[in-house]
Amino acid sequence: MTDFTDDTVAVHDETEKIVAVNINKIYKVRQKDSEKLTEFQALKNINLTVKKEEFLVIVGPSGCGKSTFLDMVAGLAHPTSGEIYMDEKLITGPALDRGIVLQGYALFPWRSIRKNVEFGLEIKKIPRKERTEISQRFIDLVNLHGFEDRYPHELSGGMKQRVAIARALAYDPEVLLMDEPFAAVDAQTRESLQEELLRIWEKTKKTIIFITHSIDEAIFLADRVVVMSADPGEIKETINIELPRPRDGIRASAEFGRLRQKIWQLLQNGHADTEELRQSDNLNDRAV
């Protein structure tokens, strides 16, 4: 790993894309029935390296700081101490080299699908003809051909999520930051979006950081799963997912089940009833 001692990059590993070094985040919060502010440590000593083209998934209990961390990588929030680097450059604010996809789609309701997808391209001042070509490519990639002139309210939740992905990909960010992007859609749509995302990732070779509450989703997608614990938010363990790709049908495999059990136990603070878990076939898609 890159050595960041003395604020200089001593050795840079070419395979590293995002490097978070000793991240702490402290919020000042108001005490109940009091004007007094106290400190709340949302993140503690987060050290994490995400490799180029890696699909990294973060799971953890509610409030462990997943979104706070992602917001920092996006440049929308800042650590109280520590630094996050992208390609050795300190992240100080948002930029088009990082695309964000959120749970609530965040589409512009007054813009057509095509216009939504072209939004980042307009900011980048890409000429109209090229914009249309690029947006069409990404609309096709997320299987929304024929829906270009519709408006967000005319689409299903799954379709809106596809538009959000197409919009984030269209301006060609190097990194895609996804905060529970599939949480609002039904189970079947969710699985097809997962498959679609993997197909797109394999084609576009983006670096992805993806947050989810679903253990199954994490294992199905990830090269690596980061398991966090709360209060304060810390990295508990990082697990390499060495399942072969493509992963169609992989959920039924013994290895998938073993990983599911391992992550579940980590999230239970190691207090899970192992015997019960061993006997259970019903761990499918347990939510954190």
Ligand X SMILES: Nc1ncnc2c1ncn2[C@@H]1O[C@H](COP(=O)(O)OP(=O)(O)OP(=O)(O)O)[C@@H](O)[C@H]1O
**What residues line the site for ligand X (CB under 6 A)?**
27, 29, 40, 42, 60, 62-68
| Sheet containing 16-30, strands listed edge to edge, beginning at the edge strand earlier in sequence | 37-51, 16-30, 81-86, 89-90
Classify the phi-psi angles of 60: left when phi > 0, otherwise alpha if psi is within -120 to 50, otherwise beta: left
> Shortest Cβ distance from residue 211 to ligand X (Å)?
7
> Shortest Cβ distance from residue 120 to ligand X (Å)?
24
Query: Do 215 and 288 contact (CB within 8 A), yes or no?
Result: yes
> Shortest Cβ distance from residue 42 to ligand X (Å)?
4
Nearer to ligand X by C-beta: 8 or 62?
A: 62
Nearer to ligand X by C-beta: 1 or 29?
A: 29
> Shortest Cβ distance from residue 182 to ligand X (Å)?
14
> Shortest Cβ distance from residue 28 to ligand X (Å)?
7
CA–CA dist 227, 234 (Å, integer): 9
Neighbour-count burial for 168-182, b at 16+ CB within 10 Å, e otherwise: bbbbbbbbbbbbbbb
Nearer to ligand X by C-beta: 66 or 167?
A: 66
Q: Residue 133: which H helix or E strand, with range? A: helix 128-141
Strands of the chain (E only): list them: 16-30, 37-51, 55-59, 81-86, 89-90, 98-102, 175-179, 207-211, 224-229, 234-240
Instruction: For residue 210, give both structure tokens.
Output: 């993806």
**Sequence-separated (6 or more) residues with CB below 8 Å from residue 210:** 55, 56, 57, 58, 178, 181, 218, 221, 222
Identity of the residue numbered 55? F
Nearer to ligand X by C-beta: 113 or 239?
A: 239
> Shortest Cβ distance from residue 149 to ligand X (Å)?
34
Nearer to ligand X by C-beta: 42 or 208?
A: 42
Alpha carbon 283 to chain centroid, angstroms: 23
Nearer to ligand X by C-beta: 194 or 214?
A: 214
> Shortest Cβ distance from residue 34 to ligand X (Å)?
15
Nearer to ligand X by C-beta: 64 or 142?
A: 64
